[in-house]
């Protein structure tokens, strides 16, 4: 496995090879990422993983400086799951000048849910992913469904800008108790970690209510939020949406329920397709 820190090294390493399958990450890898890398490996051809903590998608009060940088450990794990090339540029390499050209995804998809609580987040994500695509020039890119809205925003970007890459979803990896794997789980204290699976359980509760024939989505959402609040969480949203575009659903639409909530200082997100 090679590690390229510059775009020039990356291009040299990829020269003459078939276009790779690509898994963009911010490092601090866990089993959820490794599952995406294995999935990329199954597609045949080279597998490129990028590791870049993207300042553009952090708000001033968020954890950019605190975000764990664990390159050596990440590389060991990536090698073990068949990654061929790691692209790990530093900020000066990817943003040699302030990044003033940016991708602005549509408000109706990107300013709701995560975008409402993290303004500018998807501008930062789209901008860096477009740039990474230009560097890596992949045939396929895999994004986990754990970040459901991110997946849809990026799929839309690729479609509307006619980027020559296929965007493929990866399933959410979960701990045995149901907690969706996330780099942020590492911030949880022992008691918080024990409580954390309640977010996934709240989503299951929403699913059960629909199965039982309840139809008032606002009531179901409010009840899930109230349950989380009673347990000490501070929920940002629990929201039932149309899977295809995250708009308010009409009868018969395939649904996804998405949630974001703070447990102590740690903000967790999760979702469930229903
Ligand atoms: O999901 C992530 O880790 C990031 O948002 C991504 C896609 C690597 C862009 O920085």
> Which one of the listed residues 5, 30, 33, 104 is annotated catalytic?
33
In this predicted structure, what is the pLDDT of residue 190? 98
In this predicted structure, what is the pLDDT of residue 241? 98
* Ligand 1 near 54 CB (within 6 A): yes
Return the best residue to mutate from 23, 24, 181 for the ligand 1 pocket (most ligand atoms within 8 A of CB). Answer: 24
In whole angstroms, give the CA distance from residue 183 to residue 171: 16
Q: Are 33 and 23 in contact (CB under 8 A)?
A: yes
Q: Is 33 a known active-site residue?
A: yes
Q: Are 54 and 26 in contact (CB under 8 A)?
A: yes
In whole angstroms, give the CA distance from residue 86 to residue 52: 10
In this predicted structure, what is the pLDDT of residue 264? 98
Q: Could you tell me which residues are beta bridge partners of residue 239? A: 258
In this predicted structure, what is the pLDDT of residue 7? 98
Q: Are 171 and 35 in contact (CB under 8 A)?
A: yes
In order along its 274 residues, the chain shows pLDDT tens digits of 999 999 999 999 999 999 999 999 999 999 999 999 999 999 999 999 999 999 999 999 887 998 999 999 999 999 999 999 999 999 999 999 999 999 999 999 999 999 999 999 999 999 999 999 999 999 999 999 999 999 999 999 999 999 999 999 999 999 999 999 999 999 999 999 999 999 999 999 999 999 999 999 999 999 999 999 999 999 999 999 999 999 999 999 999 999 999 999 999 999 999 9
For residue 14, what are the CA distances in angstroms to 17, 45, 89, 128? 5, 11, 15, 20
**DSSP per-residue letters across 133-193:** HHHH--SEEEEEGGGHHHHHHHHHHHHHTT-S-EEEEEPPPB-TTSPBP-GGGGG--HHHH
In whole angstroms, give the CA distance from residue 34 to residue 67: 19
Q: Are 172 and 255 in contact (CB under 8 A)?
A: no
Which helix H or strand E contains 264, and what residues bound it? none
270: helix, strand or coil: strand
Output the pTM of the full model: 0.97
Question: 103: closest CA among 121, 118, 89?
Answer: 121
* Ligand 1 near 153 CB (within 6 A): no
In this predicted structure, what is the pLDDT of residue 66? 87
Return the best residue to mutate from 49, 105, 121, 129 for the ligand 1 pocket (most ligand atoms within 8 A of CB). Answer: 129
Give the count of beta carbons closer than 10 Å to the beta carbon of residue 27. 21
């Amino acid at each position: 496995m090679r590690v390229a820190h510059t775009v020039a090294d990356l291009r040299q390493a990829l020269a003459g090879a078939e276009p790779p399958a690509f898994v963009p990450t911010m490092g601090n890898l866990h089993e959820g990422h490794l599952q995406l890398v294995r999935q990329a490996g199954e597609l045949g051809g080279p597998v490129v993983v990028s590791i870049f903590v993207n300042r553009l998608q952090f708000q001033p009060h968020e954890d950019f400086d605190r975000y764990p940088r664990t390159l050596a450990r990440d590389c060991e794990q990536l090698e073990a799951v068949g990654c061929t090339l790691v692209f790990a540029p530093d900020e000066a390499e990817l943003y040699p000048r302030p990044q003033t050209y940016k991708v602005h995804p549509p408000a109706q998809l990107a300013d709701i849910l995560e975008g409402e609580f993290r303004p500018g987040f998807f501008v930062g994500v789209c901008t860096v992913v477009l740039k990474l695509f230009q560097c890596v020039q992949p045939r396929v890119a895999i994004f986990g469904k754990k970040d459901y809205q991110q997946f849809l925003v990026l799929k839309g970007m690729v479609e509307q800008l006619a980027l020559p890459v296929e965007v493929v979803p990866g399933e959410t990896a979960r701990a045995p108790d149901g907690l969706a794997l996330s780099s942020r789980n590492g911030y949880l204290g022992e008691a918080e970690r024990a409580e954390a699976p309640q977010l996934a359980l709240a989503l299951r509760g929403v699913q059960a209510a629909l199965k039982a024939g309840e139809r008032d989505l606002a009531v179901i959402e409010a009840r899930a939020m109230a349950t989380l609040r009673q347990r000490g969480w501070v929920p940002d949203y629990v929201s039932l949406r149309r899977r295809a575009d995250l708009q308010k659903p009409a009868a018969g639409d395939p649904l996804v329920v998405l949630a974001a909530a703070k447990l102590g200082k740690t903000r967790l997100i999760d979702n469930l397709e229903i």
